Amino acid sequence: MSPPKKFPLKPSAAWFCALLLIALLAVLGNALRGMRHARGHAGAAHAEGVPPALNAVMMGLGGFRGILSEALWFRMERLQFQGRFLEITQLADWITRLDPHATEAWVYNAWNLAYNVSAMMRRPEDRLRWVENGVKLLRDEALVWSPGEPRLHRELAWMYRNKIGSSLDRAHFLYKLSLAAQMAPLLNPDGTLADDPPPGVVAGLRGMRLDPAAMRALQTRFGPLDWRVPESHSLYWSMGGLAFPDDSNTLACYREAYLSLFTMFLEHGRFTGDLEAGVWSTERNPALADGLGEFLRETLAVFPRGGVVNIYARFLAHRVRDAAPMDTRIAGWHAELNALAPDGMVALPVEMLQDAPVLPTELFNPVP
């Protein structure tokens, strides 16, 4: 049997094939960039403050970046199982350098810094540093690459509301005071943003990636927001995510927004402490009631089931309870509350709601 014939490519043919592949990659690359821009993602040449070394790595590795990124993800999963969170931080940072559009890597790394690594620290000051690193990773880096990614907005909103705003962490007072101290010099004495802030204030806000126009728009829509409390920042970022709706994140952004508003309406809407003395205290902000009610109705129109129904019912009950006895709006609020009652149930009477020092857990009774 004679050996198979070989047909080596001539040098000119090899060069032609190489040029064809390069042209094809260029076409596909342009198409990919177009898809990313359509979703609000920045390309390598369009993101602000990108180090030259990162551009060199991205261009040099080409398509192999994805393969290397996947290998690092497998390594991260093993380190997570072993509880080696500091090593995970470095690997996640490499993944985001290899693929700055890897939303999951940014989210995981920020969560790891703010929750896992911070919990390893004994001193509250060290915990604060890692929590702030997690916030900055999403706010100052991930959203530079993908400003139109709603997942990043809602994760950042969650971090402000849950990690900084809640009392789950023993250092939570320090987190709140640090945020308030950063914001206070940029605001009015009551914590609101001035209608026409001076250039220095604008620069300070932009240093925290806050848009003064967007902040004022939220104040116009919802009422006098105190930007010293973390729930205002959660509202800001969740509303930013709603500007880029998608099937998997829109409801979560709505939820972060109305929970932040509800918390400010009921408990933590105004800072009343003393920054110099390091004292944190808050009070409710009833001036947000009209804006919150309108937003809850908007949310119900989009998502007519789930937790928003319960939140709206409690909001209406609070409005009935807090109103002056002769307020003509009470009947309308109570009628709306009745409309939310499950089958076979009816809302508690107005008199019972207004006489209750604390609203009961159950707002409905069986129909007599």
The proportion of the chain whose per-residue pLDDT surpasses 70, expressed as a percent, equals: 73
- Element (DSSP H or E) covering residue 282: strand 282-283
CB atoms within 10 A of CB 275: 14
User: Could you tell me if 241 and 249 are in contact, meaning their C-beta atoms sit under 8 angstroms apart?
Assistant: yes
- Quote the pLDDT of residue 17: 54
Condensed to tens digits (0 to 9), the pLDDT of residues 232-246 reads 999 999 999 999 988
The answer, yes or no, to whether residue 9 has pLDDT greater than 90, is: no
Condensed to tens digits (0 to 9), the pLDDT of residues 195-228 reads 999 999 999 999 999 999 999 999 999 999 999 9
Q: Which is higher by pLDDT, 71 or 276?
A: 276
Residue 241 CA: distances (Å) to CA of 103, 219, 249, 256, 281? 14, 17, 8, 10, 29
Closest CA to 164 of 114, 125, 90, 220: 114
- Quote the pLDDT of residue 307: 86
Condensed to tens digits (0 to 9), the pLDDT of residues 284-321 reads 999 999 999 999 999 999 998 778 999 999 999 999 99
